[in-house]
């Protein structure tokens, strides 16, 4: 069975930009007693057709696989394989990330014995009321397709459904197959045609004509329309068309976090990122817009300001391949592919254009926002610790045009979404659909595998995320996939301390100085730590030293880590609201005041149904 599974994966092909390539580009695997003897033997037999890479943690391997698929615009997929028990459950977090971000990854987890004869086996967690349950049932709520293979012939039905899910633009997400240990060993006379090479193409579903007509009527009646590009614009390869559509129709173009990089920073229609970690320019226009054309976005709360970013009377046109996302919050749905949907909407609009004064307002607001960024990213005149904004601005200026910025959790998503000025579309990877600490370095490794010639992933990571998951620095050294990692050390979880104090709480258990720690404990030397795993590394005390170190890093022969201490309290301004729980009763007057602000925020929220 294990041999059949691997041979089937090798037979799946896809056409990308006119070139036929393997759909499954490789396997990340850590072997244990649930997969080494059967699946491991099968992968060894096909190692030249389906390369196997060994990481250091099952979660980070799966994150690297997801980053690879994201960089490949969901057109190629990777596999992450783990043994039974903790190996498999380590991947649950990565599955949730892929599910939230609508990204394909095939997860293969070792499972218990289908026969149950040796039960309970090592690492088996028994359900006292249901012997069919194993820890792999934890994947059910965080995968798009889930199956447990208890008979070898079940692959005949399950594998085509698994691949179809991974390729479906509307249902795309993680797939999990639990492989019972004894089933992996069993032989079965599979039909030869099951292993025939199969060529796939990702479908482009056209939207319903009536939905397109309704959307065109809505836009024609708009006085202040705004185009919002989400991550689906990237996956549909609709970014270039979206930029042209916005410019031709006179629509200001804003971006979600996942959609950032749909156009270059200086595109004529661009007005910046929208939302809690967005720009004042995009947020100002969103508050005034009477029609929002939202393309390829699930409209999560950081984009919508917890549904306070838009006028309560604004109409939302939601163009999305997923019906689930297209009907949210009283939206006018246009269910279909982003590229085909924009083309058909463009045709239906005839010679309509938005009011030139509205377009001019967008340009003026964006010019003011760029002035804000310039001030925030300027080197400090009197010294002191550099800010995140200054580090981001420096690295952005020095990065190559095709280098891909990678970040995820903490304060850096806000500072990069606001302040990273994209020079080439598709070079920005901020994982914020799940905001997963630990994605950064693992994601850098996956991006390095997917990077075109001459492109180097640049990972921006805080000290907290670095300490949580850093072992794939060594993975990237072992496999020869170079990335440049910049560690911003602000002494703990600074952005959560910011949230804590902003909602009336005392600084507590986030910054290291506010934790229960031994006062004689030393700080982490991130450069020496990285060197111990074979990476090149330097520590910089100033922005000038960081500039010299970054230029040096661009010429090194392997993954290179640069560290710098940064200010934990300085942030680029933001002006969108965010709804989080604040205690209704507290003895702290600061919390009482924050609760009053929260009640005022909730009165402004758009009511969804």
Place of tokens 């393309």: 295
Q: Where in the chain is the domain with CATH 3.40.50.970?
A: 2-200, 378-565
What is the β-pairing status of strands 19-22 and 12-16?
A: antiparallel
Q: Which residue has the tokens 């246009």?
A: 334
Question: Which CATH superfamily, name and number, covers 209-368?
Answer: TPP-binding domain (3.40.50.1220)
For residues 431 and 444, what is the distance between their CA atoms, to the nearest angstrom?
Answer: 11
Residue of 368, 221, 356 lying closest to 284 (CA atoms): 368
Give the distance, in angstroms, between the CA of residue 372 and the centroid of all CA atoms in the same chain.
Answer: 27
Q: What integer pLDDT is reported at residue 565 of this predicted model?
A: 97
User: Where do you find CATH 3.40.50.1220 in the chain?
Assistant: 209-368
Place 163 in a pLDDT band, splitting at 50, 70 and 90. very high
- Report the percent of the chain where pLDDT is more than 70: 100
Q: 302-334 pLDDT, tens per residue?
A: 999 999 999 989 999 999 999 999 999 889 999
CATH class (in words) of the domain with range 2-200: alpha beta
- Give the residue-averaged pLDDT of 577-599: 95
pLDDT of residue 606: 86
Contact 462, 487 (CB under 8 A): yes
> What's residue 381's pLDDT?
78
The tokens describing 538, both together, are 């330097």
pLDDT at position 609 over 60: no
What are the tens digits of pLDDT across the range 68-85?
999 999 999 999 999 999
Architecture of domain 378-565: 3-Layer(aba) Sandwich (3.40)
């Amino acid at each position: 069975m294990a041999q059949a599974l691997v041979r089937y994966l090798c037979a799946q092909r896809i056409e990308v930009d006119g070139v036929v390539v393997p759909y499954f580009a490789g396997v990340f695997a850590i072997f244990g007693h649930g997969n080494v003897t059967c699946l491991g033997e099968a992968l060894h037999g096909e190692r030249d057709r389906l390369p196997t890479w060994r990481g250091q943690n099952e979660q980070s391997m799966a994150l690297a696989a997801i980053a690879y698929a994201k960089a490949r615009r969901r057109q190629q997929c990777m596999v992450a394989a783990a043994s039974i028990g903790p190996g498999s459950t380590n991947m649950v977090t990565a599955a949730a990330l892929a599910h939230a971000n609508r990204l394909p990854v095939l997860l293969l987890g070792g499972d218990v014995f289908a026969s149950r004869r040796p039960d309970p086996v090592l690492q088996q967690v028994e359900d006292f009321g249901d012997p069919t349950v194993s820890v792999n049932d934890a994947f059910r709520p965080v995968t798009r397709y889930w199956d447990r293979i208890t008979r070898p012939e079940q692959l005949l039905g399950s594998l085509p459904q698994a691949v179809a899910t991974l390729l479906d633009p509307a249902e795309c997400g993680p797939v999990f197959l639990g492989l019972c240990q004894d089933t992996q060993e069993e032989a079965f006379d599979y039909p030869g045609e099951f292993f025939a090479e199969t060529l796939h193409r990702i479908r482009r579903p056209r939207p319903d004509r009536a939905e397109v007509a309704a959307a065109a009527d809505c836009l024609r009646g708009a006085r202040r329309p705004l185009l919002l590009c989400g991550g689906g614009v990237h996956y549909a390869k609709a970014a270039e068309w979206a930029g042209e559509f916005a410019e031709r129709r006179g629509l200001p173009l804003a971006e979600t976090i996942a959609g950032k990089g749909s156009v270059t920073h200086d595109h004529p229609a661009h007005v910046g990122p929208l939302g809690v970690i967005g720009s004042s320019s995009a947020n100002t226009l969103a508050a005034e817009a009477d029609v929002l054309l939202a393309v390829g976005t699930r409209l999560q709360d950081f984009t919508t300001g917890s549904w306070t970013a838009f006028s309560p009377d604004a109409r939302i046109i939601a163009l999305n391949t997923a019906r689930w996302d297209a009907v949210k919050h009283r939206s006018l749905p246009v269910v279909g592919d982003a590229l085909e949907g924009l083309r058909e909407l463009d045709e239906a609009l005839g010679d309509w254009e938005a009011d030139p004064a509205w377009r001019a307002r967008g340009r003026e607001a964006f010019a003011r926002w760029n002035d804000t960024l310039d001030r925030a990213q300027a080197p400090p005149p009197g010294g002191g610790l550099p800010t995140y904004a200054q580090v981001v601005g420096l690295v952005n200026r020095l990065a190559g045009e095709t280098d891909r910025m990678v970040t995820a959790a903490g304060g850096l998503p806000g500072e990069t979404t606001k302040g990273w000025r994209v020079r080439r579309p598709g070079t920005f990877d901020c994982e914020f659909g799940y905001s997963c600490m630990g994605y950064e370095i693992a994601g850098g490794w996956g991006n390095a595998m997917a990077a075109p010639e001459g492109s180097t992933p640049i990972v921006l990571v805080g000290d907290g995320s670095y300490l949580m998951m850093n072992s794939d620095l060594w993975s990237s050294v072992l496999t020869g996939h170079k990335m440049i990692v910049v560690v911003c050390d602000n002494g703990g979880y600074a952005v959560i301390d910011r949230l804590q104090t902003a909602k009336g709480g005392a600084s507590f258990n986030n910054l290291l100085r506010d934790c229960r720690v031994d006062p004689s404990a030393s700080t982490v030397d991130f450069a020496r730590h990285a060197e111990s795993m074979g990476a090149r590394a330097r520590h910089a005390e100033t922005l000038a030293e960081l500039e010299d170190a970054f230029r040096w890093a661009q010429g090194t022969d392997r993954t290179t880590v640069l560290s710098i201490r940064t200010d934990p309290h300085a942030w680029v301004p933001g002006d969108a609201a965010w709804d989080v729980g604040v205690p209704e009763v507290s003895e702290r007057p600061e919390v009482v005041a924050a609760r009053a602000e929260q009640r005022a925020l909730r009165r402004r929220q758009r009511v969804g149904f």
